[in-house]
Structure 1
Amino acid sequence: MRARNKRRGRQEGGGHHDRWMITYADLITLLLIFFVVMYAMSSPDARKYEVVVHSLQDTFRKGDSILEQGSGITGTADHYTSKNPPAAKQQTSAKKDAGSTKLTTREQAFRKQEKELQNLMGVIQKYISENKLENQIFVADQPRGIVITLNDRFLFDQGRAALKQGSASTLSKLASLFRDLKTPISIEGHTDNIPFTRTTNSSIYKDNWELSGARALSVLRFFLDKEHLSPAGFQYAGYAETRPVGDNSTEAGRQKNRRVEITVLRQLQQ
Structure 2
Amino acid sequence: MRQRLNRRKRQESGDSKDRWMITYADLITLLLIFFIIMYAMSRLDVEKYAIVTESLQLTFKSGDSLLEKGSGITGSADKYRSKNPAPTAPGTDNSTANKNANSGSTKPLTDREQAFRKQEEQLQSLMKVIQEYIKSNNLEDQIFVADLAKGITITLSDRFLFDVGKADLKAGSSQTLDRLASLFRKLDTVISIEGHTDNQPIGRGSRYKDNWELSGARALSVLRYFIDSAKLNAAEFQYAGYADTRPSADNSTEKGRQKNRRVEITVLRQLQK
User: 1:160 is matched by which residue type in structure 2?
Assistant: K
Q: Which moved more, 1:231-240 or 1:98-107?
A: 98-107
Contact 2:251 2:257 in 1 (8 A): yes
Query: Which runs of 5 or more residues in structure 1 are unaligned?
Result: 1-65, 76-81
Percent of residue pairs bearing the same amino acid type: 65
Match of 1:98 among 102, 110, 115: 102
Per-residue CA deviations over 1:195-247 (Å, capped at 9, x if unaligned) read: 124xx2x1111100000000000000000000000011100000000000110
Letter of the 1:150 counterpart: L
**Could you tell me which amino acid in structure 2 is paired with residue 99 of structure 1?**
S
* Structure 1 pair 95–255 and aligned structure 2 pair: CA distance change class (3 A): closer
- Kindly state the Cα deviation for residue 85 of structure 1 after the two structures are TM-superposed: 2.3
**Which residue identity does 1:249 align to in structure 2?**
S
Rounded Cα–Cα distance in structure 2 between residues aligned with 1:116 and 1:69: 38
Partner Cα separation in structure 1 for residue 249 and residue 70 of structure 2: 60
What is the aligned partner in structure 2 of residue 139 from structure 1? 145
1:95 CA displacement: 8.8
Helix, strand or coil at the partner of 2:146: strand
Q: Hey, what's the Cα distance between the residues in 2 that align with 1:216 and 1:188?
A: 6
The code of the aligned residue for 2:255 comes to A
Q: Which residue of 1 aligns with 2:80?
A: 85
Structure 1 residues 69 and 264 mapped into 2: Cα distance closer, same or farther (>3 Å)? closer
The residue type equivalent to 2:114 in the other structure is Q
With normalisation by structure 1, the TM-score equals 0.65
Task: Describe the SS at the equivalent of 2:192.
Answer: strand
Find the structure with the greater CA-based Rg: 1
- The CA RMSD over aligned residues, in Å, is 3.1
Q: Which position in structure 2 is the counterpart of 1:213?
A: 216
Question: In structure 2, do the counterparts of structure 1 residues 96 and 258 end up closer, same or farther at CA, with 3 Å as the change threshold?
Answer: same
Q: 1:83 to 1:248 in 2, by over 3 A?
A: closer
Following TM superposition, by how much is the alpha carbon of 1:180 offset from its aligned partner in structure 2, in angstroms? 1.1
Equivalent position of 1:49 in the other structure: none
| Structure 2 alignment gaps of length 5 or more | 1-65, 87-97
User: How far apart in 2 are the matches of 1:140 and 1:118?
Assistant: 11
CA distance in structure 2 between the aligned counterparts of 1:138 and 1:250, rounded to whole angstroms: 20
Q: Which AA in structure 1 matches 2:150?
A: R
Of residues 229, 240, 252, the one that matches 2:232 is 229
Deviations 1:75-128 (A, max 9, x none): 9xxxxxx954299xx86xx99862142111111111111110010001001111
Instruction: Give, in angstroms, the shift of residue 179 of structure 1.
Output: 0.3
Q: Name the SS for the 1:248 alignment partner.
A: coil
**2:251 aligns to what?**
248
Which residue identity lines up with residue 102 of structure 2 in the other structure? Answer: A
The reply on whether 1:153 has 2:159 as its aligned counterpart is yes
* Alignment-mate amino acid for residue 137 of structure 1: I
Matching residue of 1:130: 136
Q: Secondary structure at the match of 1:267?
A: strand
In the alignment, the residues of structure 1 paired with residue 218 and residue 178 of structure 2 have an alpha-carbon distance, to the nearest angstrom, of 17
Give the Å deviation of 1:186.
Answer: 0.3
Match of 1:246, SS? Answer: coil
User: Partner of 1:266: helix, strand, or coil?
Assistant: strand
User: Partners in 2 of 1:110 and 1:117 — Cα distance?
Assistant: 10
